[in-house]
Amino acid sequence: MPANIPTQFSTLDDAMDVNGHPVIFFDGVCGLCNSTVDFVLSKDQSGLFRFAPLQGETAKKHLPPSDIEQLESIVLLDDKGLHRHSTAIVVMLNSLGGKWKIAGGMLWIIPRPLRNVGYRLVSRFRYLIFGKKETCRIPTVKERDQFLP
């Protein structure tokens, strides 16, 4: 089993939602994070991704406590394991395909430590720049099947 699969999972299949979809864990009260979810929903024509707030039950069940307590990164869980920070964004873009895959490839060329410096800088000031909501995002009726608690 890859090293980045949380220890509470016995297999990669257990690490993904019951239908085998990658899950994007996001800060449910972050304006930027919610905009990222909206972006992915608008580009994900095949309904590949599932979404869960880091403050929710799914995150508590599937992520290490440090990811939940720090709320510093979007976390993407797929069949290859957990992806954090800029790598989660690259994997997300690659999975969307088309021009987004090209954008992901261009980001991938940048060394991860350098990508993550930029990611962490934006993350540090995201509430100040993009705002913070009082409650987690509530999915629309159309989106409900893609959201996990």
In a domain, 85, yes or no: yes
**pLDDT value of position 121:** 93
User: Which residues contact residue 54 at a Cβ distance below 8 angstroms, ignoring those fewer than 6 apart?
Assistant: 25, 26, 27, 28, 63, 67, 68, 71, 75
What is this structure's pTM?
A: 0.84
Given this model, what pLDDT does residue 19 score?
61
Task: Tally the domains of the chain.
Answer: 1
Domain of residue 47: give its range.
Answer: 12-135
Evaluate whether residue 145 is within a structural domain. Answer: no
- pLDDT tens track, the chain, 149 positions: 344 444 444 444 444 544 689 999 999 888 899 899 999 999 998 999 999 999 999 999 989 998 888 778 899 999 999 999 999 999 999 999 999 999 999 999 999 999 999 999 999 999 888 888 877 778 888 888 999 98
What are the structure tokens assigned to 149, written together? 């608690």
Residue matched to tokens 């989106």 = 143
Q: What are 35-77's pLDDT values in tens digits?
A: 999 999 999 989 999 999 999 999 999 899 988 887 788 999 9
Extract the tokens encoding 15: 């690490």
**For the domain that residue 101 is a member of, what is the CATH number?**
3.40.30
Residue 102 maps to a domain = yes
Integer Cα distance of 29 and 26 in angstroms: 9
Q: List the one residue out of 94, 89, 97 whose CA is nearest residue 105.
A: 94
CB under 8 Å to 71, separation ≥6 — which residues?
27, 30, 54, 55
132 vs 125: CA distance, rounded Å: 11
Q: Are 100 and 45 in contact (CB under 8 A)?
A: no
* Residue 2 within a domain: no
